Amino acid sequence: MPIRQVTAAFTTLPWARARLGALALLLAGHITCLADEPVLFDAETGLRIDHYRAPLPAAIEGAKTVDLEDVEKLAAQGAVLIDVHPAKLPLEPLHELWPAAETRAIIPGAVWLPEVGRGRPDPAFLSYFETALAELTRQDRERAIVLFCETDCWMSWNAVHRALRLGYRSVHWFPAGIDAWTKAGRALRSAEPYRLSDQASAPEE
């Protein structure tokens, strides 16, 4: 019997039709699930672009992972501490447009550079990040930098990669972030976003 006739005869059986229908539903559901899965990383840059609050890797190649005690030692040695937590309000990276009403509680001695940890930020924020690093380190790519956000925040991971790609050679990553700082009972200070070329925005001790 030709194969087509065998196939036609097979599909006329009730149990065969039921199994084929179930298989079709299963395949359709699988395809739908694949389509619904978010794209987590940018294909070109490799940076995280979605679901920023999620477990982090243990280390970043080229950077040193540090804990709370390390951060305190680095701060005492003059390292630049940078909080990259995003802003709540829409911002433009021009000092005259920062909304003065928005502040954030950060680690004393640190500066706040919002939005620079996003995977696909506005190009203006990439320029803001590059210029801010140059100002804060006084053009010294050997100066120690500590980048952080909150626990399980991929924005700090992104910012570390950006700093490394800009040529900074003493980049430290504090993945536990400000959550570990406050959990240890350390004090915070209120800060506005860092303003480029504005000495009044220098971090207070």
pTM of the model: 0.78
Domain annotation covers residue 131: yes
Does 15 share its domain with 68? no
148 and 108, same structural domain? yes
Query: Pairing mode, if any, of strands 189-191 and 171-174?
Result: unpaired
Kindly give the confidence (pLDDT) of every residue in the chain, 205 residues in length, as a single tens digit, with 9 standing for 90 and above. 554 554 445 445 554 555 545 555 555 554 444 456 889 999 999 999 999 999 999 999 999 999 999 999 999 999 999 999 998 876 665 555 455 557 899 999 999 999 999 999 989 899 999 999 999 999 999 999 999 999 999 999 999 999 999 999 999 999 999 999 999 999 999 998 898 875 444 444 4
Helix-strand-coil split of the chain, %, nearest 5: 40, 15, 45
Residues spanned by the domain of 10: 3-36
**Residue position matching structure tokens 């065969």:** 16
Cα separation, 158 vs 48, in Å, equals: 7
Residue 101 placed within a domain: yes
Amino acid at 131: T
